[in-house]
Amino acid sequence: MCDDLIPPSADMTERQWLDAKAAAGEAPAPGEAPGGTARLVGRRSLLGGAVAGAAALTVLPGATGFPAAAAGREAVEKFPLPTAPNSAGEFAVLVTGDAGTGAEEQYAVAAAAREVCRAEGVQLAVGLGDNIYENGPESDDDSEFQEKFEAPNTGIDVPWLMVLGNHDCSGLIPGSGGDPSRGDREVAYARTSPRWYMPSRYYQVALPEGGAPLVEFFGIDSNPVASSVIQLDPYYHWDGPYMREQRAWLDGALSASRARWKIVLSHHPYLNNGKHGSAGSYDGFTFGDYTSGIHLKELYEEVVCGRADLIMSGHDHTLQILEPTVRTGGTRPVVCGAAAKSGDGTAHFTHPAAWQDFAARGFMLLRASAEALTLEAYTVDVAAGKAQLAHRVRTTVPVGEAGVRAGR
């Protein structure tokens, strides 16, 4: 959500939230008109509720087909997924999050990352959600895809594994996550972008394909169980068909994976020392089915922890490499959401950390080889457009081999 946009109570509808703000005499947030009605944000219009639902493209969750609007346009040749490790014997992956502002800071971080990618033989990139600020794309060919993704990342010419963030699924309120159907536009966009890889709202990618992969990525959609408002569409209820299907898919995919390293990609973090807090108590809320993220916490703890080596998330505009613990089942939580915006400079919680920075912008580099899984954090001097390696952690034993299972 917007950095200071926190609902007055858990599990409100967007209309209740807007009415509460109006009754309290609060000034409208950016993108919100007085009286709680949608208005233009520059050239952008906010769509919500039934309007957004009717206008949104549709795609079957987990399917690889594209909505009809995208299917009517000519597909482009995609940058291919890597089929073998680079010359150093590893798959090198750029990791970014919360990037899509189109502002100077995003371009500076991307420029610094481009230099590192060229020097380190990067073959793949990851975008951890909030791909198009502030309220997601209005269509699958919105010009903001160019302004806030293609242009800044020119020269990082690899496939980008993208997941959906709360701003990508905005309803009446930017960043509410209140209309997940809007995310289908980003799925559709993948057909016409050489970089953008999002075959469906949740998916898996193994490198290399076939046999026993070295590393496998599992991109999930956390929005229906971590939105700041309740979901009005029954399909996207926290316990509705969509989340039941996604949970069953993730459970089965992790069980069936033969990859040495397994990495879950999500927007909302499991554990987090930044101001948004951790799943189950997001933004200080500890009750309700949506705002607190309690059911996302359940998903992480019951399906992911002890089975994936990393949970990589954004949402908090910070850089954190947290420690694997008994609580996490040996899984390491990582927060990487500082590719355009920055945090408040303060640690708000005390989860064990190998390294963390709450003020800098930056990105991470993931290296997967047969011998080790290495994660490097880079901070960026925005004025100079230069990156500096800040920290490196190296793991040699996959979580499955370590035999650590918490509550499983």
Contact by Cβ (8 Å): 313, 296? no
Q: What is the pLDDT of residue 401?
A: 85
Q: Using one digit for the tens of pLDDT, what is the confidence trace for 308-366?
A: 999 999 999 999 999 999 999 999 999 999 999 999 999 999 999 999 999 999 999 99
| Position 352, amino acid | P
Q: Confidence class of residue 129 from pLDDT cuts 50, 70 and 90?
A: very high
Strands of 243-348, DSSP E: 261-265, 310-313, 319-322, 332-336
Contact by Cβ (8 Å): 51, 177? no
In angstroms, the CA 380 to CA 199 distance is 31
Degrees to nearest 5, angle at CA 358 with 356 and 363: 70
- Integer CA distances (angstroms), 46 to 15, 41, 167, 252, in order: 14, 7, 12, 37
In angstroms, the CA 320 to CA 385 distance is 21
Residue bearing the bigger pLDDT, 59 or 347: 347
Contact by Cβ (8 Å): 173, 30? no
Contact by Cβ (8 Å): 332, 324? yes
In angstroms, the CA 230 to CA 192 distance is 32
Q: What is the pLDDT of residue 28?
A: 62
Backbone phi, then psi, for 94, in 5-degree steps? -80, 135
Q: What is the pLDDT of residue 183?
A: 98
Q: Is the pLDDT of residue 182 over 50?
A: yes
CB atoms within 10 A of CB 345: 10
Q: Please report, rounded to a whole number, the percentage of residues in the chain having pLDDT higher than 70.
A: 86
If you write DSSP's letter for every residue of 364-384 in order, what string do you get?
A: EEEEE-SS-EEEEEEEEETTT
Please give the domain boundaries of the chain with CATH numbers for all domains: 46-402 (3.60.21.10)
In angstroms, the CA 364 to CA 378 distance is 6
Question: Tokens 């956390």 appear where?
Answer: 222
Which of 93, 134, 89 is closest to 113 using CA atoms?
93
Q: Using one digit for the tens of pLDDT, what is the confidence trace for 62-83?
A: 443 444 445 557 789 999 999 9
Instruction: Sort strands 373-381 and 353-357 into parallel, antiparallel or unpaired.
Output: unpaired
Contact by Cβ (8 Å): 380, 362? yes
Q: Is the pLDDT of residue 38 over 80?
A: no
Q: Using one digit for the tens of pLDDT, what is the confidence trace for 130-169?
A: 999 999 999 999 999 999 999 999 999 999 999 999 999 9
In angstroms, the CA 164 to CA 200 distance is 10
To the nearest 5 percent, what fractions of the chain are helix, strand and coil?
25, 20, 55
